[in-house]
Structure 1
Amino acid sequence: MLLTSVVIIIREVLEAALLVSILLSMCRQLGISQTWFKWAVLAGLLGSVLYGQQMGSISSALGGVGQELSDAGIQILIYLCLLYSCQKLVFYFKHRQGLNRLLFIAMAAAIALAVIREGSEIYIYLSAFQGREESRLGLYSGSVIGLGIGFSFCALFYYWLLSFSPRRALFFGSVLLSLVAAGMILQGGKMLIQADYLPDGQAWDTSGFLPEDGLPGQLLYAMVGYEATPAPAQVAMYILAIAIMLITLTLRYKAGARAEMQWRRDEM
């Protein structure tokens, strides 16, 4: 139970921790206020408990696929929030103007939704086993260790990104956010397949050398939504999600560069 709890908690915490560390480090490098973060985490923690408590009724809704559809909806919303947030940060890096309240709402919503999704899974897991006295010690000890590892990873990744120059930090942060966001779409596609909204299938099978239940597979799942046997529909959604992110970021970077040049001409 101890090792199982550690692995499960790490898997659930890492995805949200990676998202938090990237967004906070990008804001720090660009000199953007981070006061929105505490409200995002608070909303996420409260929401995860409420979402976990209502999971039974959610699962039975919509013909028994309520959980799959709600999970897919959360993933898609996180992707859209990250798409908006990242392109605004890229534009601001070049132009140093254009920040608005919607940016802070989008970043807060992305983190809150990620905490709700991952936190509800932890809440359900702990609730399922806390009634077994023989398992409590391993359950809670493993959970604390898993949380500690997850938070340590978040802190290390945050300071690693801060070690770069603002330009490089923005580049690496944008690439990582694109991968994380596309991973959300990949996982959302899996939920839609389970709900019979998308066709099933198998594009390839990498479980022979990189199984999902191993530590490397768990880490890749948390970071980029890795699956050993993805369906063709998931692969298509993943590629499209990355393409949209990269094209949008490139266009916004160029727009910011043009705006910066125009501003300098006006100043001269």
Structure 2
Amino acid sequence: MINSLLMWLRELLPLVILLSFALAWLQPGLRALLLPVLLQTALLLLPAWWFLDELLSSLDGMGLDWSYCMLYLIGTLSLLVAARSRQYRQRALSLSLTVLCGIHLLNLSLYGTGLWHEASQWQAIATGTALALGISASIAVLWYYLLLELSVKLHWLWRLVLALLCARQAVMAVTFATQLDVINPGPLLWDTEPWLNESSELGYLLQALLGYEATPSLAQLLVFLMAASAVMLWMQEGSDES
């Protein structure tokens, strides 16, 4: 049950945090934001599921990693567009949500496929799944109202949170790029694993919000700072509230 709970939390938290932020920031209405995301996610996932075996075996077995790297890059660029252009802000956030939906739903489907034959575990899996859904929904609601409450006095809050979310996706893109040997990660800068485990509940929450890594590399830190700085600089004063 614990493994199932943590797996679902790891995959759901990035989605609910970005979704709650988009709803609180733009106030577009749940249907106006979710319908494009659901349609785009379906168009993304149906071919991925249909050709999953080919995807997993392509490019010397690294096809899925390449796909994730490109998707996170698209998600990063989408959030940069959201920071830069008020006109395309909702569309950009919708695309970034679609990217996360595609990645995390595909991960969950792979996880479920691996447990398909473990009939004895279904009760524990179902319990862990139900708990994770409840926790994720609670976090989504709390995050939504916390953002609305704080933004009344902290008008720069939207910039800060968007900067963290954008930097998180940029870090994930770099993480996959280093696994693919596309870039040199550089030296590891520190190790906070003894104090804050990445697999803990708080670790999952921080990873979903800002891409927390217990042992970050120089490349990850530089990309995090560049992406966050770009968002902070590009969002003009007075344009944080839409």
Pick the structure with greater CA Rg. 1
Equivalent-residue separation in structure 2 for 1:33 and 1:15 (angstroms): 20
Partner of 2:32: 36
Q: Give the corresponding residue for 1:61.
A: 58
Distance 2:201 2:64 in 1: 26
Deviation of 1:36 after TM superposition, in Å, equals 3.0
Displacement of 1:49 in angstroms is 5.9
TM-fit CA distance, 1:174? 2.0
Quote the offset at 1:182 in angstroms. Answer: 0.3
Gapped regions of structure 1 (runs ≥ 5): 90-98, 258-268
Q: Distance in 1 between matches of 2:13 and 2:135?
A: 9
> Structure 2-normalised TM-score?
0.88
Separation (CA, whole Å) in 2 of partners of 1:44 and 1:146: 25
What is the Cα deviation at residue 238 of structure 1? 1.2
SS at match of 1:199: coil
For normalisation by structure 1, the TM-score amounts to 0.80
Map 1:206-217 → 2, pairs under 5 A: 206-217=192-203
Q: Does the CA contact (< 8 Å) of 1:36 and 1:108 recur in 2?
A: no
Given that 1:185 and 1:237 are in contact with CA atoms closer than 8 Å, whether structure 2 keeps it comes out as yes
Query: Residue 215 of structure 1: CA displacement?
Result: 2.1
Change (3 A) 1:4 1:34: closer
Using the alignment, how far apart are the partners of 2:131 and 2:41 within structure 1? Answer: 19
Would you say 1:8 and 2:2 are equivalent positions?
A: no
Deviation at 1:140, TM superposition (A): 1.8
Alignment RMSD, CA only? 2.3
Aligned length: 238
**Would the aligned equivalents of 1:51 and 1:116 in 2 still touch at CA under 8 Å?**
no
Residue 208 of structure 1 aligns with an amino acid whose one-letter code is: P
Percent identity over paired residues: 22
Structure 2 equivalent of residue 247 of structure 1: 233
1:111 aligned partner: 97
Task: Give the drift of 1:45.
Answer: 5.1
* Counterpart residue type for residue 116 of structure 1: G
Residue 241 of structure 1 and its aligned partner are, at CA, apart by 1.1
Structure 1 residue ranges (4+ consecutive) displaced by more than 6 angstroms after TM superposition: none
Q: Distance in 1 between matches of 2:40 and 2:131?
A: 21
By how many angstroms is 1:34 displaced?
A: 5.3
Question: Contact 1:49 / 1:120 at 8 angstroms: preserved in 2?
Answer: no
Q: How far, CA to CA, are the matches of 1:140 and 1:44 in structure 2?
A: 28
Structure 1 match to 2:143: 157
Unaligned runs of 5+ in 2: none
Inter-CA distance 165–182: structure 2 relative to 1 (3 Å threshold): closer
Query: For the residues of structure 1 that align with 2:49 and 2:189, how far apart are their CA atoms?
Result: 33
Cα distance in 2 between the residues matched to 1:165 and 1:218: 24
Alpha-carbon distance in 1 for matches of 2:14, 2:30: 20
Equivalent residue number for residue 172 of structure 1: 157
SS in 1 for 2:85: helix
Question: Match for 2:81 among 55, 78, 84?
Answer: 84
Specify the alignment match of 2:174 in structure 1: 189
Q: Which of the residues 71, 74, 78 maps onto 2:71?
A: 74
Higher helix share: 1
Deviation track 1:234-268 (CA, whole Å, cap 9, x = no partner) reads 1111111112111112xx327x69xxxxxxxxxxx
Q: 1:38 Cα deviation (Å)?
A: 2.1
